[in-house]
Each structure stands twice: as structure tokens, then as C-alpha cells.
């Protein structure tokens, strides 16, 4: 497969206040102390931590070492063309969330995300911006698994055009959704 190409940065507006933010390719940002601290802070917020890290880390806090490893993994995905992480940046260029396309499978790439509870109104529009860029670069379908009971994430995906998918591999405790390119 040829290399997947995305713009380095994509501008979008916050849903609540129309403030401009950016989705930036993770490989365009340094793995520095400020970035690690911002990722660590968000990943330890109650909702993000409970949904993504509590079980994985056996109840231990998400550390700056974890954040550094995540940023390194994000950079490696872009270099190897295997997975594609984007950071959501506020007007001060601080990380307030992340979205990732978990594979280069243009026909069924899984997407995931996390966002700071302190910055509401960003995730749907940033997701729509990444999906549009993905469709423009050759992806035809994105899929998402949402933990049953995670109504907030389910509504984000619905607003971004995802629909329930039928006849697919089930993951216990999750709902499966998909979004196809309008050209498919």
C-alpha cells in the first residue's frame, strides 16, 4: 500500500464558542516535557482514565513515562505508515485531546479518541475534520467500538455520521459503529 498522507494541521471550530482549534499530526509535535505533562493530565481525568486506563494500568496512575511512550508510538506510526495519531490543540497550542486511526486499512480503519473534560465542544468537530481528511486521502470506511453505557461517546460518533453496523465481529461489552465515505 502507498503511504497514507494527511495535512499536517487541520483547523476546526469549537461547537460551543466557535473558537478555532487545530488537529495536528502527532509527528509534527515534539515529545517534550510540556506535551507529556498535557497528555498525562488528560489521561488521569476521571472519565478518560476510567474508560481507557484503569483496567490497563491496574488502577495505577497514568504517568509521564506512559505519555512519552504514547507520543513515541504516535510518531512511529506515521514513520511506518501503520497508524495515525492526531492531537487536538487549543489556541495556545496545548494538547486538549487525541484521535487515532488505528491502522492503514483504508476499508475498515478503526478510530478512537480521548479529550479533556476541561475543553468541551471539541471532539465531534475534530473527528469530522479527521474523517474528511481520511476520506480525501483514500479511506472508504471507518469503524468504532464504543463501550456499552458510554452514551457521550456514542452521541459523538452519531453526530459525526457513524451508524450501527450489523454482521461484524463483536467485542464483548462494546457497540460497533461505522462511517462510510459518501463516494463508496
Q: Where are the domains of the chain?
A: 9-180
pTM over 0.75: yes
Under CATH, domain 9-180 is a member of which superfamily?
Gcn5-related N-acetyltransferase (GNAT) (3.40.630.30)
Q: Where are the beta strands (DSSP E) in the chain?
A: 9-13, 20-25, 84-89, 95-101, 109-115, 141-147, 163-164, 174-180
The answer to whether the beta carbons of residues 183 and 135 sit under 8 Å apart is yes
Edge-first strand listing for the sheet containing 9-13: 9-13, 20-25, 84-89, 95-101, 109-115, 141-147, 174-180, 163-164
Query: What is the model's pLDDT at position 167?
Result: 63
Q: Helix, strand, coil % (nearest 5) of the chain?
A: 35, 25, 40
d(CA 165, CA 175): 9
Give 29-71 pLDDT, tens digit per residue. 999 999 999 999 999 999 999 999 999 999 999 999 999 999 9
- Residue 4's pLDDT is 82
- pLDDT for 170: 72
Query: How confident is the prediction for the chain on average, in pLDDT?
Result: 94
Residues of the chain whose pLDDT is less than 50? none
Residue 75: per-residue pLDDT: 98
Amino acid at each position: 500500500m502507498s503511504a497514507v498522507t494527511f495535512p499536517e494541521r487541520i483547523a476546526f471550530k469549537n461547537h460551543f464558542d466557535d473558537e478555532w482549534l487545530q488537529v495536528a499530526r502527532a509527528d509534527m509535535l515534539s515529545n517534550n516535557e510540556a506535551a507529556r505533562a498535557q497528555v498525562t493530565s488528560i489521561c488521569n481525568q476521571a472519565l478518560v482514565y476510567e474508560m481507557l486506563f484503569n483496567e490497563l494500568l491496574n488502577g495505577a496512575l497514568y504517568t509521564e513515562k506512559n505519555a512519552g511512550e504514547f507520543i513515541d508510538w504516535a510518531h512511529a506510526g506515521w514513520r511506518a505508515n501503520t497508524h495515525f495519531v492526531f492531537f487536538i490543540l487549543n489556541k495556545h497550542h496545548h494538547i486538549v485531546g487525541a484521535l487515532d486511526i488505528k491502522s492503514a486499512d483504508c476499508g475498515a480503519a478503526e478510530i478512537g479518541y480521548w479529550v479533556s473534560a476541561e475543553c468541551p465542544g471539541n471532539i465531534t468537530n475534530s473527528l469530522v475534520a479527521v474523517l474528511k481528511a481520511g476520506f480525501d486521502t483514500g479511506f472508504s470506511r471507518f469503524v468504532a467500538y464504543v463501550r456499552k453505557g458510554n452514551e457521550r461517546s456514542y452521541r459523538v460518533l452519531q453526530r459525526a455520521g457513524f451508524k450501527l453496523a450489523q454482521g461484524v465481529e463483536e467485542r464483548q461489552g462494546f457497540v460497533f459503529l461505522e462511517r462510510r465515505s459518501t463516494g463508496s
